[in-house]
């Protein structure tokens, strides 16, 4: 009798397991964005003296002790990394987007089973968090990081959070997308992000497509036109107050670019800044200026491959 009962249980397990394996491990939000700089100290001054962020530490290359990157803290869960770009490939200056995950090893195994090139195991980085990187279809470096009790992120909770900060939240990262089908497969089918909005500059074709993280308000913005600027967005509750705060800094006297508040197609007020390397830093209010939701554009999608 035991064989009769045992056999169906084995079959059921074999059927259920592949279904469970299709679910991606939880992504908790955007952890950080990384930018490249040919003059790190100039970029540090922009993020510190203009945007008001505190430097929390620096990492050096182990082989020769030269500077690798500088950390600028946005909140207890998010930060900006400024890499010395002189030792890196000359591709987009938005160097990396990192997602915070609950279990880095589970994500590594999940992506490996789906054919992505992943390391043999997750590594504990110099800041003592677990993580690894992959390349997305556009060749952006996408990092997955799990915060640990002994890591710098947890160690510095409540520290390095001055009132000078222009924002306490990175709302999204904008990436240039040349192959929309491949991008949607990676971010939606594989990682589990869901389309939340699409917009058009002229009503003739979709210009932006937003894919939202499953358990966070954070999202990735696909920019579907050629010659666009990859960027990241800092949310501010009041754009005019944010502008006034910037204008009150000593750094503003040396900031040569115009600062104009605009209303986007999504009806959100925004202000574009550029760091010394020309990387666009978008300040944006989280809600529409008139309190009305803006429906997604009905314009057609552009060609699958834009370049």
Q: Give the pLDDT confidence of 151-194 residue by residue, as tens digits.
A: 999 999 999 999 999 999 999 999 999 999 999 999 999 999 99
pLDDT of residue 203: 93
230 pLDDT tier (thresholds 50, 70, 90) = confident
Mean pLDDT over each residue of the chain, to the nearest integer: 90
Cα–Cα distance, 79 to 53 (Å, whole number): 9
Sequential DSSP letters for the chain:
-HHHHHHHHHHHHHHHHHHHHTSPPPEEEEEEEEEEESSHHHHHHIIIIIS-PEEEEEEE-TTT--EEEEEEESSSS-EEEEEEGGGS-SS-SEEEEEEEES-HHHHHHHHHHTT----SS-EE-TTS-EEEEEE-TT--EEEEEE--TTSHHHHTTT-S--TT-S-S-EEEEEEE-SBHHHHHIIIIIIT--EEEEEE-SSSSS--EEEEE-TTSS-EEEEE-SSS---EEEEE-S-HHHHHHHHHTSGGGGG--S---EEE-TTS-EEEEEE-TT--EEEEE-SS-TTS---PPP-SPP--SB--
pLDDT of residue 5: 34
Residue 54's DSSP bridge partners are 73
Question: pLDDT > 90: what percent of the chain?
Answer: 83
Mean pLDDT of 240-267: 97
Which has more confidence, 229 or 240?
240
Mean pLDDT of 258-268: 96
**Residue 68, exposed/middle/buried by CB under 10 A (0-12, 13-18, 19+)?**
middle
pLDDT of residue 12: 34
pLDDT reading at 285 higher than 80: yes
Mean pLDDT of 195-217: 95
92 pLDDT tier (thresholds 50, 70, 90) = low
Cα–Cα distance, 96 to 31 (Å, whole number): 11
Write b or e for each residue in 202-222: b if 16 or more Cβ atoms lie within 10 A of its Cβ, otherwise e: eeeebbbbbbbbeebebbbbb
| R_g (Cα) of the chain, nearest Å | 21
**Residue 191, exposed/middle/buried by CB under 10 A (0-12, 13-18, 19+)?**
buried
**Residue 11, exposed/middle/buried by CB under 10 A (0-12, 13-18, 19+)?**
exposed
95 pLDDT tier (thresholds 50, 70, 90) = confident
> What CATH number was assigned to the domain covering residues 27-155?
3.10.180.10
Minimum mean pLDDT range among 11-25, 78-92, 229-243, 280-294 = 11-25
3 pLDDT tier (thresholds 50, 70, 90) = very low
35: number of Cβ within 10 Å: 25
pLDDT of residue 141: 93
Minimum mean pLDDT range among 80-94, 142-156, 194-208 = 80-94
What distance, in Å, lies between the first and last C-alpha atoms of the chain?
64
74 pLDDT tier (thresholds 50, 70, 90) = very high
pLDDT of residue 89: 67
- Name the CATH topology of 170-284: 2,3-Dihydroxybiphenyl 1,2-Dioxygenase; domain 1 (3.10.180)
Distances (CA, A) of 95 to 135, 143, 153, 186: 11, 11, 21, 18
Length of the chain: 307
Please compute, for residue 162, the number of CA atoms within 13 A of its CA located in the half-sphere on the CB side: 15
pLDDT reading at 229 higher than 90: no
Listed in order, the ranges of the chain carrying CATH 3.10.180.10 are 27-155, 170-284
272: number of Cβ within 10 Å: 18
Over the stretch 116-134, which tens digit does the pLDDT of each residue have? Answer: 999 999 999 999 999 999 9
pLDDT of residue 227: 84
Cα–Cα distance, 170 to 234 (Å, whole number): 5
48 pLDDT tier (thresholds 50, 70, 90) = very high
pLDDT of residue 180: 95
pLDDT of residue 11: 35
Q: Are 280 and 292 in contact (CB under 8 A)?
A: no
Mean pLDDT of 187-213: 96
Mean pLDDT of 95-114: 96
pLDDT of residue 2: 35
């Amino acid at each position: 009798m035991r064989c009769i009962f045992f056999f169906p249980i084995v079959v059921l397990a074999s059927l259920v397991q592949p279904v469970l394996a299709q679910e991606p491990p939880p992504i908790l939000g955007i952890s950080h964005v990384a930018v490249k700089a040919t003059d790190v100290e100039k970029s540090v001054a922009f993020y510190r003296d203009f945007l008001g962020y505190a430097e929390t530490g620096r990492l050096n290359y182990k082989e020769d002790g030269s500077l690798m990157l500088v950390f600028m803290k946005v909140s207890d869960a998010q930060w900006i990394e400024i890499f010395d770009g002189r030792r890196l490939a000359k591709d987009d200056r938005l160097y990396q987007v990192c997602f915070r995950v609950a279990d880095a090893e589970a994500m590594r195994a999940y992506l490996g089973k789906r054919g992505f090139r992943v390391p043999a195991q997750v590594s504990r980085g110099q800041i003592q968090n677990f993580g690894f990187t992959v390349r997305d279809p556009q060749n952006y470096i996408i990092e997955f990081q799990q915060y640990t009790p002994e890591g710098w992120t947890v160690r510095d909770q409540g520290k390095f959070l001055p009132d000078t900060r222009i924002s306490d939240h990175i709302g999204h990262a904008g990436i240039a997308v040349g192959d929309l089908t491949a991008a949607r497969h990676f971010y939606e089918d594989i990682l589990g992000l869901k389309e939340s909005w699409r917009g058009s500059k002229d009503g003739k074709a979709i210009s932006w497509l937003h894919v939202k993280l499953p358990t966070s308000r954070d999202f990735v913005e696909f920019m579907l036109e050629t010659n666009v600027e990859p960027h990241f967005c800092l949310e501010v509750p009041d754009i005019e107050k944010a502008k006034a705060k910037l204008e009150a800094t000593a750094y503003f006297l040396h900031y040569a670019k115009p600062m104009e508040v605009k209303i986007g197609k999504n009806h959100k007020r925004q202000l574009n800044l550029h760091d010394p390397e020309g990387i666009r830093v978008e300040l944006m209010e989280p809600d529409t200026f008139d309190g009305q939701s803006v429906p997604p554009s009905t314009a057609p999608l552009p060609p699958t491959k834009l370049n």
